[in-house]
Chain A
Amino acid sequence: MSNTSTAAHHAASNNRKWAIGFTIAVLTVFIINQFILPSAPKQVVEFFNAWFSLTSMAEIMVWILMALGLNVIVGYAGLLDLGYVAFWALGGYVAGWLMSPFLSQFQINFFGNPRPGLEMGIHFSFFFVLILGGVFTAIWGIIIGGPTLRLKSDYLALVTLGFGEIIPQFMVNGGDVAGLNLTNGAQGIGGLDDIKFLGYTIGTFSLPEKFLMISMLAGAMIFFSIRLRDGRLGRAWLAIREDELAASMMGVPLWRTKFASYAIGAVGGGIGGVAFATLVGGVYADRFNFVISIIILSMVVLGGMGNVWGVVVGATVLAWVNSVGLVQFGVVINNALGTKINFPSYQFLLFGLLLVLMMLFRREGFIPEARIRMVMNEEKLEDEEKITDETKIASH
């Protein structure tokens, strides 16, 4: 067997192990919540609700979707995007427009599930809205991709930063666009329909089912991310990431390839946005700020840029810490020491410290991609090679 096929076999086997692990983790959370907790002792229920509440677990899956989407842009194609939150916003508003009574000038029901008395507006099936959300954000990915084609590094970051600021601002001020209420401004759009699946309603309290559904979306995103990376387009992205000029000289169409990365990367944001809006029951412009873009970027960088499983781990850890982890550690420590420290208020201190430590000792992330690891350790490898050569010369 050649070295290439051995590496491919190893990668496939590695992916299989991680995929099984991910599936087991998701099923474990589902089974515990669906079948065990309803009849478990009160203390056990309280523990799981505090440390691993199902809403937080579902939210983590949304963050995974977002991080994997950004990973296509930053991790695969090496295009720094500081405004990814815009795609989240766009996806969320697609759900707001097509799954609620908001656009009350219409009364359309396409396999939707409007609440009794709230039939006005557009009520599309959740699954249809997922597709539309993905397509809509992909189009916006192409629109943002357009002006960035000739840009690199800092300039590219600035353009995407601008995009990330413009879209949420539009959502805040979109309550009156030439007399038309497009976004309901700062009030947001509430009252989203419950999901209907094969005649079964996944309602407000069907959290295990909601979690399972969003996890399946995350699973699908993981699958497509891996398949894309291993395909022709993925190899072209990696080539651009490593050396744009060399990639161009080797015949990689830069224009088309970059466009594709923005469009496909944006889909993760769109689908995640729709899923999140359904989880929360509405879409509110307040959420979409620059910090969210930075958190998603941190998930990608800390997890391991370009490595799907690294990004999944990065997103899981950071989202869990942000949602419940730090709060609960605070409760445990405060109870033990009799203190009243507000641990979540130190989140950014810890977050910053973690970033500094990572950059000092593990720049390539928790679970780095092989190529990134090689690039990051290039100096070290060169030094080692030099020492080996010098040793050889000395021994001669």
Chain B
Amino acid sequence: MIKSIKIGALAVAGALALAACSGGSDSAGGDALVVGTDLPIQGASADASKSTNEVVALVLEQAGGKAGDYTVTIKEYDDSTAAKGAWDDAACAKNAQDHVANTAEVAVMGTYNSGCAKIIIPVLNQAGMLMVSHANTYPGLTVEWDKGEPGLYYPSGARNYARVIAHDGFQGTAAAQFIYNEQKKTHCAVMDDTQAYGKGIADAVAIEFARLGGTVDRYSWDVKQPSYTATFEKIKASGADCVYFGGIFDNNGVQLVKDKTAVLGDNTKFFSMAPDGFSGYPVLRDMPEAEGLWMTFAGKSLDGIKKAGGVGGKFVEDYIAKYGAEPNSSYAMYGGVAMQVILKAIAASDGTRQGVLDAVFAGEPICLTAEESVSGMGFCLTQETGDVDTVTMTLQQMTGGVETDIKSIEIS
């Protein structure tokens, strides 16, 4: 036993020695304030997260590494595990505690997945720490949606979470209105991938489409299914004239789109539409079956940002110059917008967590003008919910293997 205790003591001493020698994974130094980015670095979203981290870093670099009088550094957190290949609830819970434990950290940029945000927001809320997401589109995080929401996520009673992208309520509503009013479809098969995002947006489409007077049939596609022909045969038999893919392309989207075309015909014969969970995938662009697919993006797409030029277009050029290729996801650009909001909040604060939080949720609202924002879109954050006050929805169609912007809809 004494031998074991000696070994244990040696191990602790060794650990402390290693602690003295090893550096952390962040580049924080001196009294710099830290902004954490919380993204899934493993699995299907890894590339998008890598781009987002690069965009965030470039935004900070272009700001001279400063926000007002404060020096700012970034610390990257991974909320996924290789075992799951996606965000992981335990990793999110751990990150939440780590954000709070890092006393120099004043705000968090992220998360990518709304499910992970549901775990992190309440923890940061109790620590009075700001979180700004670039990609969480689940409505219940900020507005009344499901039982107890959004109060469930704010145990302190005060808000600490904002997002720079429109929630699915807007995207689903816009999609349903486009299908019913402009495409004149009256019977829609609304599918979901059984996951949080997919179900949420499919619900939003179904509710609005039914409200407009259309007929809705609900279906789900399981990512593990080898074929969806049986489901599409059912849709064919139901007499539906439209199909909506509520979900993300990662969830066996290749098979889904192929089987839809095989059973119902291509997109010129049978109308199909998808949310931004299908945007930014080179594999989808290369599929002949995807030609003519309609899509919505809850913001300005990367193509739209580039074409609009200005600050956004210039930023994309700078990004290409630094990293050799353009960001591989429109969401990555919104990571930059979220970082701009955080930097503005830090500049307007006294450098404390509470000060940064108050800069967003008390006093003057935080606004970015179209001339400032790397998305090229101006907006203010509403202090009651943390949502943006101006929503731009981009309607796209796949033409010639490119997600082509058809029109932008501004909702104020």
Contact = CB atoms under 8 A, between A and B. Distances in A.
Interface of A: 17, 20-21, 24, 28, 43-51, 53-56, 59, 101-102, 104, 115-118, 120-121, 169, 172-173, 175, 184-188, 190-191, 203-205, 207, 276, 279-282, 284, 286-287, 289, 291-292, 295, 322-323, 326-327, 331-332, 335, 342, 344-348
A179 to B, nearest CB: 14
Contacts of B180: none
Contact of B118 (A43, A169, A173, A282): A282
A345 B195 CA distance: 23
Contacts of A279: 90, 93
Interface string B344-369: 00000000000000000000000000
A190 B38 CA distance: 20
Contact of A323 (B16, B23, B90, B123): B90
Given A49-B98, A204-B126, A284-B115, A187 B148 contact: no
A187 B22 contact: no
Given A173-B194, A280-B119, A101 B152 contact: yes
Interface of B: 1, 4-5, 8, 12, 15-16, 18-20, 22-25, 41-42, 46, 78, 81-84, 86-94, 97-98, 100-102, 115, 118-119, 122-123, 126-127, 138, 140, 146-148, 151-153, 155, 157, 194-196, 198-200, 220, 222
Secondary structure of the A contact surface, majority rule: helix
A291 B84 contact: yes
A345 B42 contact: yes
B146 A184 contact: yes
Nearest to A56: B94
B82 A185 contact: no
A104 to B, nearest CB: 5
Contacts of A118: 148, 151-152
21 contacts: A17-B1, A44-B16, A46-B24, A49-B101, A102-B147, A104-B147, A118-B152, A121-B148, A172-B194, A186-B195, A186-B199, A188-B115, A191-B152, A205-B126, A280-B119, A282-B118, A286-B87, A286-B195, A335-B23, A344-B42, A344-B81
Contacts of B4: 17, 21
A332 B22 contact: yes
A152 B342 CA distance: 59
Nearest to A187: B196
Given A49-B98, A59-B90, A204-B126, A186 B84 contact: no
B88 A287 contact: yes
Contact of A347 (B83, B140, B194): B83
Nearest to A45: B101
A209 to B, nearest CB: 14
Given A187-B199, A205-B126, A322-B83, A47 B42 contact: no
B122 A286 contact: no
Contacts of A347: 81-83
Given A118-B148, A205-B100, A282-B119, A55 B25 contact: no
Nearest to A331: B25
Contact of B122 (A281, A323, A346): A281
B200 A280 contact: no
A122 B93 CA distance: 23
Contact of B123 (A102, A281, A284, A335): A281
B83 A295 contact: yes
Nearest to B118: A190
Nearest to B155: A115
A280 B82 contact: no
B324 to A, nearest CB: 14
A56 B97 CA distance: 10
Contacts of A287: 84, 88-90
B10 to A, nearest CB: 13
A327 B19 CA distance: 16
Nearest to B152: A191
Contacts of A172: 194
Given A207-B97, A344-B42, A186 B152 contact: no
